Every structure is written in C-alpha cells, then in structure tokens.
Structure 1
Amino acid sequence: MGERQLRGMTWGHRRAIDPLIATLPAFQRRHPDIAVTWDSRPLHGFEFTPVEELAQRYDFIILDHPFCGDIARTGALLPLDELVTPSLEQAFVGPSLATYRYENRIWALPVDAACQVAVARPDLLAKLDRPAPASWPDMLQVGEAARRQGQKLAIGLRGVHSLMTFFTACANLGRPCATDPTQPLIDRDTAKQAIDAIKALLAFCPPEALDWNSIELHDAMVAREDLVFCPAVYCYATYAEADIARPLRFSNLPGLIDSNPRGSTIGGTGFGISAHVKDRDAAFAYARYLTESATQKAFAAHHGQPARIDSWEDPAIAARFGGCYPDTRATMEACWIRPRYAGYLAFQAAGGTLVEQHLRGEVGFDALFERLSALHRSSAKPRA
C-alpha cells in the first residue's frame, strides 16, 4: 500500500465502479506511493446525497453536475480550473465539461458522458419489420404495431426521471425550462405539449414504467420479451455489450415534432476533489490520470462510459458497445444543461414526484403547472 492514502465515493453499477477499480493498477504503478480506494452507493444516493456531506468523509466524489450551485455556495470541493489545459478544454464530448463550469470555476472533470437517448431490443424491433423511430409520431406508430403483436413501448418515469423526461421534451420543442429561478420555469402551452407527448407514450407502456428508474428500465428491457423500444432514457451503453443476455441497441433521441434530437437533458458524471483533502498534489495527480486518453479508453474496456471525444470516435469502442457512441453522438452534441443553482436539488426531488403524480392521475395539470412554477421560484438558496 502507498503511504499517501486517498478514498473516493462513486455509485453502485458496473458502469461506475468497475472502470475505477480496473484502472487503479496502472495509476499505482506510476505513483507507487499513492493508494486510492473506492466505495459505492445506490443510484438514488448519487442523485440526492449532498456533496458537502460526502466531502467531509471522502477525498474524491463522483458526482452529478446539478450539485455545482451548492458546491459553489459551500466551497465543499476544490476548483479544478488549473487542471484544464487548452487541449483538455476541447477533449470532451458535447457540453460535458461545461456542465461542471459554474460561476466561472470548474468544480469537477468529466469522466463519464451520458444523456437521454433511445434504446431498443433489436430482435423485437426486427419482428415488427421497423427501424428505430426517429420522431415521436414514428414512435407512436411503432407502438401501435407493437400492441397488435401483444408487445409494448417502454420508459422509466419514477420520481426524478419523470422530471428529466419533461425537461427533455420541453427543450426538444425549442422552448427549454429556465435555469435561473428568477425567471418563469416554462410557459403553460409548452408544458402541456410536453406532458401530452409523455402521456401519449405511456398509453403504449406497461404500468411498471412509472416505477422504473433508468437502471431498472434497462434491466426490464433485457429480461422481458415484450418491451420493444424506449425513446428517452439515460444511456447505459454497457447494456449493449456482448455479455448481456439480450443486448440492447441505442439510437438518437426521437424529436417530438421531427427527427431533430436536440434538447436531451445531459447526465454523465464528474470527478470532484474534497476541499478537505489532505494531499492536494496526490489528488490532482489522480485527476489528471482519470482524464487521460488512455485511461478513458481503458474505462470503456471495463464497462465504463468515457467522456472524451477520442473514445467516442474509437472504432473498437464503438464495436464493443454495439455502435452506441456514433449512433447517439448527434444527441450528445445537442444536449441541454439543466439548472444548477444552489437549492436546485430540492426542486428536482419535489418536481420529479409532482410530475410522476400527475402521470399517475393523482394531480391535475393545472395543479402540476402551478406547483412546479412555485417550487422553481422558491427553491434557490442564498449564498452562505
């Protein structure tokens, strides 16, 4: 073991933990005096546990970019601006790096890239003799064809995933939700159009769609024999790998009006360093290593989802993941960045519940629209 001990927290899926563990030996050969260990937690904890709390216990945190406002307010993480060289500035796919730039500081470095894209069971889609639909109207036609064969469309809309799909729909319509809580969240007509599109999809989905998060949606599509196509889910490219029982195939987000895949709500993860880290030089050495081209390509060899463009353009990586990266690149390049202001995470949690309740028929549209708008106005926190 190295004399300089560092400990990190990520989330519990092979896409997240496996590449971090698999790439440690190469780092420790280069830095034999530095020992890095990783813990993991469930997806829900990744989405909502405050970074400030984790930064008290861990040197590194794999995080979601909506925490940036709270990070800037509390100073929980070290700014990483000095690590971003001019070449690294241009190295990441889509707006991956931009998601971690807040108030003119960079609070994390992208190590994983993702957004909402479409996913299909190619064997079931082939039985319908249809390609992956490129627009919402095309998708509803696939839904009709699937229904005649006793099959279904799919989506994962539990909690926050309802809100993310709503965000994506609004942005794809060309009228994205506000990212500043001093501005109105969204106009009523756009909100209604987006919600109606989601409801039209739900008419072809099983009731369990409202119980699934993104991981559960992928698992269900692999395990079941009746889920043909999902238009919008955070991509887990590992489900296209050859060791999956029934590999899935990913494609660009179907546009609500036409085939333009713009506006997908970007996800992915970043690597942050606690402001309490005792060995800053060791932590920065590891940050540089994780963002190197070779390390990111090694991520892909161990079920990871790299954030660098050169990984997305690598033919061997494309083949390993069933063409996922070239087939979703247009969506990734046209992503929308959701709010990141301090206090936004409270809106995200409550807003996701509200949209899900509406889709379950428990809250009317008028109440949904008014309560979402009020939550957005009231959730921002003052600077500490």
Structure 2
Amino acid sequence: MAPVKLRGMTWDHRRAIDPLTYSLPQFRNRHPDIDIEWSSRPLAGFEFTSVDALAEDYDLIILDHPFMGAVSASGSLAPLDGIGGLSDDLFVGPSLATYRMKGSLWALPVDAAAQVAVSRPDLMQALDAEPPRNWSELISLGAKARRRSLSLAIGLSGVHSLMTFFTLMANLGTPCATTQEEPFADRPTARGALGLLRGLLEFCPREALDWNSIRLHDEMAARDDLVFCPAVYCYATYAEADQRRPLRFHDLPGPTGPTGSTIGGTGLAVSAKCRHREAAFDYVRFAAELATQRVFAEHHGQPAHRALWLDEAINQRFGGCYRNTLATMEACWVRPRYNGYLAFQEAAGGLVEAHLRGDLAEDALLDRLERLHAGR
C-alpha cells in the first residue's frame, strides 16, 4: 500500500527548509506509512501570502503568528488542541502563546526569534568596542565607527521598518495598540521612536532602507564595513562556522535595555482541508518533541524549546546566540494579530519606510497610520 503523502510549505532559507528535510528520515522511521514533500517560497511571500490560499493546496504550513486572527475567523486551519504535552513553559518567551486565538491553538512553534542585535566580532575588536547595552551606547559606537570609515547597520525595507518602530515603542514603555478599538500609538512616544530611527540612520549606509532581515545578515557577513546592527530578526545560522565571517548576536540595546523586542519565529499548522489529518497531527507531535527540535538546531534551525536555548552544545555551535539573547526573547512584545492586521502591516511598513526616506512628514505618517489601523 502506497504511503500517505502530505504536502508542506515553508520559506526559502536554510534556516527554514533544512531542519524540515533533514529530520524527515527520523519521522519516516517512526511512520513509514507517511511521506512529506516540502516546498518553499521567498520571505516576502511568507510574510504576506494568505494562509487561506495556502490551505487550499498544502497540508502542512509554516506561518507567522500575525495570521492567527485571520485563520481563527476563516477556519482554514485545523485547531491543535488535541495535541497533548504542550505548555507555555516548554517554549522560549511567549512563543506558544502567540499561536493561541479565540480559545484554540492554531500552530506549534518550531522556530523562535525576536529582534536582537548582531555584530561583526572582528570589526568590533578592531574598534576595541563592546556590544552596546542601550541606545545611547549604540550611538556612541556609531560615532566611533564613523571615525574609522565604518558603519552601523539596520534593515528597514517595508515591514522591517514597522517592526523596528514597534520594538522601540514597546521598549519605551508605550507599545502600539494590539486591537483596533484602541488608538494606534501614543504620539509623543511615537515621535521619540521615529527620532531614534532617524538618528540611527545617520550612521548606516543609505541602502539599509532596501534591506530585509535576510539581506541585512548577508551584507554584514559579506562586507567589511558594517560593525553592528541593534535590531533585526535573528538568523542564528549566520553565527555558524561555515560563514565567511561568522556573526555574533546580543541582547537588544534598546533605550531601556532588551525589554520590548517584537517577537517573530514561525509555527507549524495543519490545513483544515487536509484529507489525512491524523497523519498531519502525527507530524505535529513529532515536531513538538525536544529531540526533533534538537535535530532542527543541528541543521541550521532555531529551536523553540526553551531547554535548547540553554543547551551548551547548541550555543557553542551558534556562537552563544541563544544564551546571549535569552533576556530579550523572554521579555518580548507580541504585535497585533486581529483579523485584518496583515493588510495594515503591509501598508504601514511602506509608510514608515517612506518617512525614513524623507518622502513623508512625521505628522502625515502618524495620521495615516492611525487611520489605517482604524480601518479607515
């Protein structure tokens, strides 16, 4: 009898696809009657493609938690409430909680991330500099780097502008609204956060406004002038030894320290239209296991189990990434997840980027963000 075949979709990076494909032999050993074919798509598609549309064609879907409002309203995913042994304390930060909506769990965290800092240790050593602990020290580092014809770095293309704005707002103690019933942002705090971003850009190459999180890591590993980035969604694989210049990750140097970073990461979901739901649930149970997430980490992934963030062997493989960013991860802020938020996120990211390019005044930006958030 031919095995059940499930189709899965993730995003196109070795952090995403390699853990899934390299762990398949262990799954097949346990479930020889189930096979899985994984496909991938670019990061931009991962951030915005409708989960409802993916659920028409795929059984297993790797997705981001801001989709939870839409999927809980549409019923496009199968709730995972019957998957036993899942509790918040097993996972780092609010990773599991981000996938709960309207009383159900819609995805299992298989990858954990937040906006953290990243450095080029060789360039930091050349500057005789330590990783900054707050924004004031960051700007001092920028000035020191500029005197040596070096730069700070940031990735602010589209949605990444909005995520960094979110992080600064939360760090300053007045986070943006997570429901449409509240005003989007406290104006004085928003002005302060935008001012911090504009000040940072004075020490960054102009092309930083064209970079997403993957491009930011690629540029820092390839170029020899980018010293330090204060806030980017961590790709721990860039700290591995096979990189041209392995990067190092650090807690967020926000205005008040690591608190307030906007959580990212990904979850594993099952389509409500999956014709072999029990087989798909078997894979979810497999992916939830500590041993499986250890295999993920051994193949460039970012485990969501808290125990693995404390594991010495894994930290050694990734240059101490997890240990050095745990405080940030545990103090994360969860961005909005209401039904309709994804349309706001896509449009708002472009507006914040336009402001940082000098194409949209601060008052006009904040007015438009407020109207967009309210659905007007």
Asked if 1 retains the 8 angstrom alpha-carbon contact of 2:184 and 2:370, the reply is yes
Q: Which amino acid aligns with 1:124?
A: L
Asked if residue 95 in structure 1 is aligned to residue 94 in structure 2, the reply is yes
Counterpart position of 1:233: 232
Structure 1 Cα separation of the partners of residues 142 and 267 of structure 2: 36
Q: Cα distance, 1:50 vs. partner?
A: 0.2
TM alignment of 1:14-53, pairs within 5 A: 14-53=14-53
- Distance, in Å, in 2 between the alignment partners of 1:359 and 1:332 is 27
Question: Separation in 1 of the partners of 2:304 and 2:84?
Answer: 14
- 1:170-209 map, 5 Å: 170-209=169-208
Equivalent position to 1:359, from 337, 341, 356: 356
**Which of 292, 311, 315 lines up with 1:318 in the alignment?**
315
Structure 1 contact 9–40 (Cα < 8 Å) conserved: yes
Alignment match, 1:382: none
| Structure 2 unaligned spans of 5+ | none
* Number of matched pairs: 376
In structure 1, how many angstroms separate the alpha carbons of the residues matched to 2:261 and 2:123? Answer: 25
Structure 1 counterpart SS, 2:249: strand
The equivalences for 1:358-377 within 5 A come to 358-377=355-374
In structure 2, C-alpha distance between the alignment counterparts of 1:226 and 1:142, rounded to whole Å: 13
Query: Shift of the alpha carbon at 1:90?
Result: 2.3
Q: CA deviation at 1:2?
A: 5.1
- Is the CA contact 2:88–2:97 (under 8 Å) kept in the aligned structure 1? no
SS at match of 1:225: coil
Partner of 1:282: 279
Shift in Å at residue 158 of structure 1? 0.1
CA gap of 1:240–1:2, structure 2 versus 1, over 3 A, is farther
Q: In the aligned structure 2, how far is the partner of 1:84 from the partner of 1:353? A: 41
* Residue 273, structure 1, aligned to residue 259, structure 2: no
- Preserved CA contact (<8 Å) 1:2 1:35: no
- Cα displacement string for residues 249-282 of structure 1 (whole angstroms, at most 9, x for unaligned residues): 00000021x3x21110000000000000111111
TM-score w.r.t. the length of structure 2 is 0.99
Q: Determine the structure 1 residue equivalent to 2:165.
A: 166
Q: Deviations over 1:46-102 (max 9, x none)?
A: 0000000000000010000000000011000011112142x5442100000010011
Query: What's the secondary structure of 1:69's corresponding residue?
Result: helix
Following TM superposition, the consecutive aligned residue runs of length 4 or more in structure 1 with deviations greater than 2 angstroms are 87-90
- The whole-number CA distance in structure 2 between the counterparts of 1:113 and 1:243 is 22
Q: What is the alpha-carbon root mean square deviation over aligned residues?
A: 1.0
Q: How does the TM-score come out when normalised to structure 1?
A: 0.97
C-alpha distance in structure 2 between counterparts of 1:255 and 1:301, whole Å? 31
Segments of 5+ residues of structure 1 without an aligned counterpart are: 380-384
Equivalent in the alignment of 2:65:
65
- Report the Cα distance in structure 1 between the residues aligned to 2:166 and 2:363, rounded to whole angstroms: 18
Residues of 2 paired with 1:205 and 1:2: CA distance? 56
Measured after TM superposition, the shift of residue 13 of structure 1 is 0.1
Alignment of 1:349 with 2:318, yes or no, is no
1:125-161 C-alpha deviation (Å, 9 max, x unpaired): 1111110101000000000000000000000000000
String of CA shifts for 1:269-322, please: whole Å, max 9, x gaps.
Answer: 000000001111111100000110000000010000000011111100000000
SS state at 2:57 partner: coil
